[in-house]
Amino acid sequence: QSSISMVNEMNGLLMRLGQSVLSFLPSFYYKY
């Protein structure tokens, strides 16, 4: 169960990171 919880936490972090990157990408495209 501990490994499953760790995987779930990693998935959540990756999803948040992906969302932040997707939100930052448009600003970079508009800048350049």
Distance between CA 12 and CA 6 in Å, rounded? Answer: 10
Average pLDDT over residues 2-25: 93
In the predicted model, what is the mean pLDDT of the chain? 88
Report the amino acid identity of residue 27: S
* 16-27 pLDDT per residue, tens: 999 998 888 877
32 pLDDT tier (thresholds 50, 70, 90): low
In Å, how far from its chain's centre is CA 15?
Answer: 4
Report the amino acid identity of residue 14: L
| Residue spans per domain, the chain | 1-26
- Helix (H), strand (E) at residue 17: helix 2-31
Distance between CA 28 and CA 20 in Å, rounded? Answer: 13
